[in-house]
Structure 1
């Protein structure tokens, strides 16, 4: 079996920045263990698998199946690998449709082109305030003694969000695993307010850690921004925001809360590698 495979840097217009995802074009569904083995082999935060629907090809079809796998397990929602998947369809396969629809574990996700960006129609996941004292050991492992302004949790994405009053150093991922006593956390967002009056005008900054998925730090996490957007929109009283995830690679996301309760996430992508996976 030969599978077309691509590496795409998402949420950036510069190669080797943003978040790299491996994208595989699948003619027919594979066994789950094979999906997982391929993702482990690629060893990126996410490997995405696009499958055809209704016998259409990747250039003319408007609807596709999409699954995401970390090196450790399948995940229910992934932003950067969805952006990267759409980039392969639009930029390489020259898909003729104005919008492509992905059937996923999180429902239908739509992606369209707008100038040099791709705009994803995603769910909006608003987090709920949490009692800091109930998870003090975990918070200590993440941010040390830095002052914490808010702690929120999103049960839909299993993400814990920590808003700091100041910047923080990178936590040790192994410490996060040891100090999660709830069993309900799959990722941690650390965020601070930006300075929108200073160029380039980011409304907030973040970092994202998901050792539970086998990803120590995710360079740019689109799904985490479904939570961050819900939080910061209320705090800043804004529906349109510009966000920056300040990992070592870094990435920029444009966010817009829609009147129908969903979220548009916009970003750019660079395809840096294409080849054939032989199994």
Structure 2
């Protein structure tokens, strides 16, 4: 596999949490290039919902800096197939990666991403070798930058479900 973000995140967490590295940055050499994991400290306060006993706790996030995948435009007939498979009529942007041929679709909102009910049999007819990534801008009050879903029925996995807390 060229890159597995979940495994990289888990490896970075292990390295940082067990003090196996004396740095706030770790670089992983992947088949897709260098992937950098950065430990970003923050302090949980008693106002945070996850705070225990109202005490401040030192915590950290891990930021992953993924290598950029070059993209290309799709032609009209390809776009039509994808819109039909996703069951949507409008998109903000749509590209295909030139490396692993994933389709990347940006929808108008996070709600449109969450409400999506794709037709997996139709997705199998879409261009690309692997899957379709659908993303949309998250509402400011959510605390997230964007919502994203990944569909891969060509490999027998209708949806890869990821939960970030």
**TM-score of the pair, normalised by structure 1:** 0.44
More strand by share: 1
Conservation of the 8 A alpha-carbon contact between 1:160 and 1:185: no
Q: Equivalent residue for 2:22? A: 97
Q: Equivalent residue for 2:153? A: 211
Distance in 1 (CA, whole Å) between partners of 2:146 and 2:21 is 35
Conservation of the 8 A alpha-carbon contact between 1:111 and 1:119: yes
Whether 1:137 aligns to 2:81 is yes
Q: Equivalent residue for 1:150? A: 93
Q: How far is 1:85 from its partner?
A: 1.4
**TM-score of the pair, normalised by structure 2:** 0.68
Structure 1's unaligned 5+ residue stretches are 1-74, 221-249, 253-279
C-alpha change, 1:131 and 1:122, in structure 2 (3 Å) is same
1:51-93 Cα shifts (integer Å, max 9, x gaps): xxxxxxxxxxxxxxxxxxxxxxxx21221221011112222x4
Q: Equivalent residue for 1:200? A: 142
Whether 1:169 aligns to 2:116 is yes
Q: Name the count of aligned residue pairs.
A: 142
Whether 1:188 aligns to 2:132 is yes
Distance in 2 (CA, whole Å) between partners of 1:153 and 1:104 is 21
Q: Equivalent residue for 1:251? A: 164
C-alpha change, 1:82 and 1:214, in structure 2 (3 Å) is farther
Conservation of the 8 A alpha-carbon contact between 2:69 and 2:97: yes
Whether 1:114 aligns to 2:40 is yes
C-alpha change, 1:146 and 1:135, in structure 2 (3 Å) is closer
Runs of 4+ in 1 over 4 A off after TM superposition: none
* Aligned-CA RMSD value: 2.6
C-alpha change, 1:150 and 1:104, in structure 2 (3 Å) is closer
* Structure of greater relative contact order (alpha carbons < 8 Å, 6+ residues apart): 1
Distance in 2 (CA, whole Å) between partners of 1:120 and 1:134 is 31
Distance in 2 (CA, whole Å) between partners of 1:210 and 1:165 is 22
